[in-house]
């Protein structure tokens, strides 16, 4: 973010969240970049922590990486439906194996929520077309250090300490026997998803799969 970009956004139509050169349509992306996202195909992620299989909508590179960074760091909320569409494709890959599943987004810490002004993962989930699955915020996030610069072991420990299951919300799901599909924006080492799966399993839930917008 810089003064030139801020001034342009104030007085000119918003630029594409990915290429930053062409004007954006209502989706936050120019037609070319939107077409690149549409062309992505889901892939099976290979995180270091494989406590739960993860299907990502695409690799964390190029158009997808640029758009995700704008979404998170510049609060480009208009991108939520585009990421919802991508999550919908990832969900379709696992849907037959997890009938009746609910989506549980990875929650932001309070600091991240204040900085961004919105829950970016939950907003992307809400953008999944056709109400493909019910969304249940069953996790709570405690303060945690920035993962940049941490070793895989340190990331795993920080993630484990920072996620807790919400007892009342998980109890109802456990009683109903409904499985859970975790949702995150980017999977790297998989430490966060592994910690989330562990917390929910301790609360009596079955967590057979996870989906993400991108895999790094």
The model's pLDDT over 148-162, given as tens digits with 9 standing for 90+, comes to: 777 878 877 888 888
What average pLDDT does the segment 76-105 reach? 95
Out of 101-105, 128-132, 199-203, least confident range: 128-132
The number of angstroms, rounded, from the C-alpha of 87 to the middle of its chain's C-alpha atoms is 8
Q: Between 148 and 56, whose confidence is greater?
A: 56
Q: In what order do the strands lie in the sheet with 54-56?
A: 43-44, 54-56, 209-215, 180-187, 102-105, 134-135
Residue 118 has pLDDT above 60, yes or no: yes
Tokens 């406590």: give the residue.
51
Out of 1-10, 40-49, 193-202, 206-215, least confident range: 1-10
Please give the mean pLDDT across all residues of the chain. Answer: 90
183 is written with which tokens?
């949702």
User: Tell me, what's the pLDDT at 6?
Assistant: 52
What average pLDDT does the segment 81-102 reach? 94
Tokens 């079955």: give the residue.
206
28 is written with which tokens?
């936050």
User: Pick from 121, 77, 102, 116: which is nearest to 214 by CA?
Assistant: 121
Helix residue spans in the chain (DSSP H): 3-11, 31-38, 62-73, 80-94, 110-116, 120-126, 152-162, 167-176, 191-202
Residue 119 has pLDDT above 70, yes or no: yes
What would the pLDDT profile of 177-192 be if each residue is shown by its tens digit? 999 999 999 999 899 9
Q: Which helix (H) or strand (E) element contains residue 102?
A: strand 102-105
d(CA 57, CA 87): 6
User: Tell me, what's the pLDDT at 148?
Assistant: 72
* Domains (range + CATH), the chain: 41-215 (3.40.50)
User: Tell me, what's the pLDDT at 25?
Assistant: 79
pTM above 0.85, yes or no: yes
What would the pLDDT profile of 18-38 be if each residue is shown by its tens digit? 999 888 878 899 999 999 999
Could you tell me the CA-to-CA distances from 128 to 2, 61, 121 in Å, in that order?
Answer: 32, 22, 11
Out of 79-93, 142-156, 163-177, least confident range: 142-156
Q: How far apart are the first and last CA of the chain?
A: 23
Count the residues in the chain. 216
Phi, psi of 187, rounded to the nearest 5 degrees? -105, 130
What average pLDDT does the segment 72-93 reach? 96
């Amino acid at each position: 973010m810089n003064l030139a970009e801020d001034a342009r956004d104030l007085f000119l139509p918003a630029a594409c969240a990915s290429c930053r050169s062409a004007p954006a349509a209502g989706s936050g992306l120019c037609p070319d970049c939107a077409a690149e996202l549409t062309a992505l195909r889901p892939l099976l992620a290979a995180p270091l922590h494989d406590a739960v299989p993860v299907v990502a909508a695409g690799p964390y590179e190029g158009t997808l990486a640029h758009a995700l960074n704008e979404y998170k760091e510049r609060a480009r909320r208009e991108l939520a439906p585009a990421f919802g569409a991508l999550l919908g494709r990832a969900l379709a890959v696992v849907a037959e194996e997890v009938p009746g599943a609910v989506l549980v987004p990875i929650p932001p810490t309070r600091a991240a929520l204040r900085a961004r002004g919105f829950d970016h993962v939950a907003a992307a989930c809400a953008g999944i077309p056709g109400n493909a699955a019910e969304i249940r915020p069953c996790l709570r996030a405690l303060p945690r250090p920035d993962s940049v610069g941490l070793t895989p072991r340190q990331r795993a420990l920080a993630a484990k300490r920072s996620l807790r299951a919400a007892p009342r919300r998980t109890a109802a799901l456990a009683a109903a026997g409904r499985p859970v599909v975790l949702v995150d924006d980017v999977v790297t080492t998989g430490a966060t998803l592994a910690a989330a799966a562990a917390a929910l399993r301790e609360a009596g839930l079955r967590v057979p799969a996870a989906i993400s917008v991108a895999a790094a």
